Amino acid sequence: MLTTQQLLKKIRQIEIYTDHLADDMFAGQYESAFRGQGMEFAEVREYHRGDDIRNIDWRVSARAGGLHVRKYVEERELTVMVLVDASASVRFGTGVQTKAETMAETAATLAFSAIRNNDKVGAMIFTNETELYLPPKKGRRQVLRLIRDILYFQPRAARTNIAQALDFTARILNRRAIIFVISDFQDSDYLGPIGTVARRHDVVAIEIYDARERMMPLSGLIEMEDAETGRRRLVDLGNAHYSRQFAATQTAAAEQRRTEMNAAGADYISICAGTSPIKPLMEFFDRRSRKRR
């Protein structure tokens, strides 16, 4: 566990890094990637060739003696919910960061981007139950609490239940929201709930994985333990055939998750623990922006 001094230092590091990203790297991209809640009336102005005739305000036009149209702008304020996995498996890490630390960095980048656009940000930390819920609010203090809780929070349970987390979130939200689910997705039976929630909300699944979960080194016999169940098994990683088969199986499984998430109505992003979330998030924002054009 991190000491208080180490925790404060880590929070400050993530704050400086992700705040900079939200300002410089994602300026405008976040806003263009997500739609507002609808359109609101802005003003009435004179009709110009090419304007949609459905927007003509006939009452104002009659009084003014010429055609006038109603102008609308997108209602920008959004609600963003960040669901973060705190099960035992996310504390794993073989590189410079654990999966949990990369999750905190990714969540903070998204949260700072949201508050830059005056959106509300809420969060939920989950295992196989709802461990902590932060109602959506605006402001920097909300983001700093989110970072602290992801890094420091000590969950009661060890296992994962993404379906339960989605169900809880859907019940507490009374308006359409953007829901980021940040997890290593070491769970099952969550595709149906994702599809159900995606019919009303904008769902983005962000998988954080460790490099060793996709490709194991040639290192002889090792004992592997499942962090969530405690089950152990002996694996011969000195066998090159097994290592290649393991890597191929994990890569195929990740691609299948992407396909299934998309089919359920959710976007999917994959980020390796210990690497910067900049590139995958920017690519995602760019794809979303192009879809809206």
207 in Cβ contact with 266 (< 8 Å): no
Query: Which letter does DSSP use for residue 90 in this model?
Result: G
Q: Which residues contact 97 (CB under 8 A, 6 or more apart)?
A: 105, 273, 274
pLDDT for the residue numbered 163: 97
101 in Cβ contact with 84 (< 8 Å): no
Residue 280: CB atoms within 10 Å: 16
Mean local confidence (pLDDT), 201-215: 91
Please report which confidence band the pLDDT of residue 21 belongs to, taking 50, 70 and 90 as the band edges: low
pLDDT for the residue numbered 44: 75
Q: How far apart are CA 12 and CA 144, in angstroms?
A: 9
Fold topology of 4-31+77-292: Rossmann fold (3.40.50)
pLDDT of 42 above 60: no
Q: Is 62 exposed, middle or buried (0-12, 13-18, 19+ CB in 10 A)?
A: exposed
pLDDT for the residue numbered 73: 46
| Spatial CA neighbour of 257 closest among 180, 215, 179, 194 | 194
The two tokens of residue 92 are 């794993």
pTM: 0.78
pLDDT of 159 above 80: yes
Mean local confidence (pLDDT), 196-200: 95
Tokens 């930390």 belong to residue: 125
- Listed ranges 21-25, 75-79, 211-215; the one with the highest mean pLDDT: 211-215
pLDDT for the residue numbered 261: 95
79 in Cβ contact with 86 (< 8 Å): no
Q: Where are the domains of the chain?
A: 4-31+77-292, 40-75
pLDDT for the residue numbered 68: 84
pLDDT of 242 above 90: no
pLDDT for the residue numbered 35: 61
* 160/213: higher pLDDT: 160
* 253/229: higher pLDDT: 253
Mean local confidence (pLDDT), 141-146: 86
Q: Are strands 221-225 and 202-209 parallel, antiparallel or unpaired?
A: unpaired
Please report which confidence band the pLDDT of residue 28 belongs to, taking 50, 70 and 90 as the band edges: low
Q: Rounded mean pLDDT of the chain? A: 82
Residue 138: CB atoms within 10 Å: 14
pLDDT tens track for 87-130? 999 988 888 889 998 998 899 888 888 888 888 999 999 999 99
Q: How far apart are CA 214 and CA 253, in angstroms?
A: 10
pLDDT for the residue numbered 259: 96
* 184/71: higher pLDDT: 184
* 13/264: higher pLDDT: 264
Q: How far apart are CA 79 and CA 137, in angstroms?
A: 9
| Spatial CA neighbour of 182 closest among 223, 147, 231 | 147
| Spatial CA neighbour of 87 closest among 147, 54, 130, 28 | 130
Tell me how many degrees the CA angle 63-69-75 measures, rounded to the nearest 5.
130
Ranges assigned E (strand) in 15-78: 38-46, 68-75
